[in-house]
Structure 1
Amino acid sequence: METTQLPHWRRNIYLFLTSQFLSGITSMVVQYAIIWYLTKQTGSATVLSLATLLGMLPMVLLSPFVGPFVDRLNKKLLLIVPDVVAAAVAIVLSAVGTLQTTFPLWLIFISLLVRAIAQTFQMPTIQSILPTMVPSDQLTKINGQLGMVQSANMIIAPALGAFLFALVPLNFLILLDVVGAAVGISLLLFVRIPEHPVIDEPVHVFSDAKFGLTRLRHTRGLWAITLTGAFFTLLFMPAASLYPLMTMGYFHGSVGQAGLIEVVYSVGMLLGGTIIGVFGNWKDRMPPILWAMLAMGVTFGASGFLPGNQAGFVWFVGLNTLAGVATPFYSTLLMAMIQQSFPPEQLGRILGVLNSMMSITGPVGLIFAGPLADSIGVEKLFLIGGLGSLVCGLIMWLLPSARRYDRTLQQTAAPLTTEDPTEIDA
């Protein structure tokens, strides 16, 4: 499916990636600072779990209804307005923290919820505009480079956040979000984002969400991949949410070592994203996806067999670096396939439904993570996550519609029609 190719598209897309990097890293620094403040002030696992759920629920609950707006409204505004709203809330939070000795917990939760809602609008918008900004044969590489930007944020933000959290009072540190939003928006104003005629059509939230689900359900192969991916998230999320407990509880490590695990995983993701960004022109992207699920399964599963001492922790660091390298080959290549499977003017509605389905199992897994870890041991959750990844990879490989999906997609010369949910036979 050919996309609109802008003049000087490389300069345009790299300006866009730069704006996302600068606004993203400041936002993540503030996010880490808020979580560390909650940890320091409350020491409550319940409070931290609630904060995590507030960050996930908008993606689950609102994504199907956000998609229609992504397809209809001006996409540049959909990137700018959430940043402005989040910055305004940050100013209010900073002012309250300056006038009082502590931050009200309810206001912090509202701030986290607003930030999550902003991301719920921005994520499908970014995913849907990439195919319109670059040539189709470069889409996988550009998705890899976007993954590099996000991984770099995940590497730099914890270290920078810890440094600033120790030096700058939180009421002033929160204002860094405002600075990042201002810089990111300023750069975004110079980015050209193609719009489609559908921008003027009225929004019918429920029927549009149903349309996105119908298109996805009738795309054989991709529908099977989506359901398998949701099951994978359900089994994977409990272990992924308990990295600090694995490091500090099972391996008897320090807070610094818990941070090290986060960093090495992000470094691995940056390396994987770099490989995709440089060499990402596979004729069939399903084999790398399946190999990535195998690698994640082996590394996570092996972590469950490690001894609970510092020698085991050293192996844990190495295994998580490898898991980080494998992760973009699953998430990035899958997103590139989805973007090429539908016309750009439908992507918002379809990605809204798909993001919700992929995310809904995360909170379910989180609900059971704590009790399971207490009853069977946190290391067993890594074993369950590893086996789950292997099972899901095997299911994808055994289903011909999923295994052959990308070959069929790339051989399909004619673009899909706008309103006819025709199946892709795979």
Structure 2
Amino acid sequence: MKGDGVLHRLFVSFFPINGKDDFMNINQVQENNSTWKHKIALFIISQNLSLFGSSVVSFAIIWYITLQTSSGTWVMLFTIFSLLPQVLISLWAGVWADRYNRKHLIMLADGFIALATLGLVIAFLAGYQSMELLLVISAVRSIGAGIQTPAIVAMYPQIVPVEKLTRVQGINQTLNSVLMLLSPAVGGIVLGSLGITWAFMLDVITASLAIIALGFMHVEKVVRSEEVTGVLTELRQGITYTLNHKLLKRTLIIFGVSFVLITPAAVLTPLLVERSFGSDVWRLTANEIVWTVGTLIGGAFVSLRGEFRDKIFTVAVCLVAFGITFALLGIAKNFTIYLLIMGAAGFFMPIIATAQTVLIQENVEAAMMGRVFSLVQIVTGTAMPVAILFFGPLADIISIGLILLVTGILLALTGVLYQITSKRAGISY
């Protein structure tokens, strides 16, 4: 399982409010726009181009740091610089996503990162190949991801009819999985044969193509019922709205708990493979590939199915499935069996991601969408780093298999409790 950081900071002056013509009710967009398929095609193409370049660079940087330093401290610093800024900027990013034109926000993010990465290319070509500079650029990418992600997720229901959201998310998840299969290979080839500067250039090129593709798509700002106020005021409004919404509050709690319990399987399985089955590189590679193949099949399943009628039940079942498969990973004694279980676990990832995302998209006001998803991003972005501070040292004291067994059981119980408590609270979506 991997996370990836993409793109940048915001210049408020780029987003002037031009009066009534800049606003359109989200339902009118969906009902009146007969070209939504053209729009979503451009949107998915642009975002997957951006994702591909960013993924290649992320792999190239972590491998470059590993090869140059062979230091766990530097790898840890890269991880912190790649994750922490994204979490810190997320609350403000949600406000910006609801205040400004989301398309422009996304394009600015890609453009700023492309310029920053181009600067990195120039610095490396000039001989300034500093590890500290790589950390700074990683932080810039992370800030960009924090700004861009709420805008991206909030824009889907703005351009896609509600009844098509699940199918579209399934298609997007499938494409993401394909790129996650390709990007390590491309990153390795580029890094090994051409050098890291060409990996940076690939990101510049794909970001530029993403901006061009998005530029052909016309998207209006979303209508807001409340007046535009200060950023902190709107931030508080978003938090209040989320905490007073029983579905959203319950979903955030489940996100937090489940991401903590998923952390050992997400982070410690390579170490489990090395300790239990051997340190051969092909084993570590196979561990990543089978997960990605599982997510690819799961994404295809979602896109073909097209809809989950009871999304809370779907999420609950997937949490139980995750729990069972992760627990089985902890007790697997044969590497082939281990890989089969890992692939099966990957199958459920696109299903739960799609069901949870669409559940929020269908039940949140358009003008609040960015702020809600920024809170989701904060919860998910904070849970795993905090959890690994506990599970990482614990893995040096007790067996990783035991950790996976216990957290897997707890994760399955979380899924059961989510379904039971939602039913009792009268929540059904």
After TM superposition, the structure 1 stretch with the greater mean CA deviation from structure 2, 151-160 or 244-253, is: 244-253
Letter in 1 for 2:309: K
After TM superposition, the structure 1 stretch with the greater mean CA deviation from structure 2, 137-146 or 25-34, is: 137-146
Tell me the CA shift for residue 253 of structure 1: 3.5
Conserved 8 A contact 1:373-1:380: no
The 5 A counterparts of 1:4-43 are: 4-5=29-30, 6-43=33-70
Tell me the CA shift for residue 44 of structure 1: 1.4
Letter in 1 for 2:401: E
Tell me the SS of whatever aligns to 2:221: coil
Conserved 8 A contact 2:320-2:413: no
After TM superposition, the structure 1 stretch with the greater mean CA deviation from structure 2, 5-14 or 34-43, is: 5-14
Letter in 1 for 2:213: L
Q: Which residue of 2 aligns with 1:339?
A: 361
Does 1:80 pair with 2:107?
yes
The 5 A counterparts of 1:40-59 are: 40-59=67-86
Tell me the CA shift for residue 199 of structure 1: 11
Q: Which residue of 1 aligns with 2:242?
A: 216
Letter in 1 for 2:196: L
- C-alpha change, 1:367 and 1:274, in structure 2 (3 Å) is same
The 5 A counterparts of 1:138-217 are: 138-198=164-224, 202=228, 204-217=230-243
Q: Which residue of 1 aligns with 2:286?
A: 260
- Describe the superposition over 1:83-105 as per-residue Cα deviations: whole angstroms up to 9, x where unpaired: 111112212222222222x7211
Q: Which residue of 1 aligns with 2:142?
A: 116
Tell me the SS of whatever aligns to 2:96: helix
Equivalent residue for 1:391, pick from 413, 419, 424? 413
Does 1:362 pair with 2:384?
yes
Structure 2-normalised TM-score?
Answer: 0.89
Q: Which residue of 2 aligns with 1:420?
A: none
- Describe the superposition over 1:370-395 as per-residue Cα deviations: whole angstroms up to 9, x where unpaired: 21111112223322331231121122
Letter in 2 for 1:196: V
Q: Which residue of 2 aligns with 1:297?
A: 323
- C-alpha change, 1:199 and 1:400, in structure 2 (3 Å) is closer
Equivalent residue for 1:230, pick from 250, 253, 256? 256
Tell me the CA shift for residue 68 of structure 1: 0.6
- Cα distance between partner residues in 2 of 1:148 and 1:58: 28
After TM superposition, the structure 1 stretch with the greater mean CA deviation from structure 2, 3-12 or 139-148, is: 3-12
Does 1:96 pair with 2:126?
no
Conserved 8 A contact 1:94-1:175: yes
Conserved 8 A contact 2:422-2:428: no
- Cα distance between partner residues in 2 of 1:247 and 1:254: 9
Conserved 8 A contact 2:121-2:201: yes
Conserved 8 A contact 1:221-1:402: no
- Cα distance between partner residues in 1 of 2:68 and 2:225: 46
- Describe the superposition over 1:315-341 as per-residue Cα deviations: whole angstroms up to 9, x where unpaired: 121111111111122121011010111
4+ residue stretches of structure 1 with deviation over 6 A?
A: none
Q: Which residue of 1 aligns with 2:4?
A: none
Tell me the CA shift for residue 237 of structure 1: 1.2
Tell me the SS of whatever aligns to 1:56: helix
- C-alpha change, 1:393 and 1:323, in structure 2 (3 Å) is same
After TM superposition, the structure 1 stretch with the greater mean CA deviation from structure 2, 162-171 or 1-10, is: 1-10
- Cα distance between partner residues in 2 of 1:199 and 1:123: 23
- Cα distance between partner residues in 2 of 1:139 and 1:152: 20
- Describe the superposition over 1:161-191 as per-residue Cα deviations: whole angstroms up to 9, x where unpaired: 1122211111222111110111111111111
Structure 1-normalised TM-score?
Answer: 0.89
Conserved 8 A contact 2:81-2:142: yes
Q: Which residue of 1 aligns with 2:8?
A: none
Conserved 8 A contact 2:86-2:142: yes
Conserved 8 A contact 2:154-2:369: yes
Tell me the CA shift for residue 403 of structure 1: 7.7
RMSD, aligned CA: 2.0
Tell me the CA shift for residue 300 of structure 1: 0.6
Tell me the CA shift for residue 256 of structure 1: 2.7
The size of the alignment, in residue pairs, is 402
Q: Which residue of 1 aligns with 2:21?
A: none
- Cα distance between partner residues in 1 of 2:85 and 2:271: 26
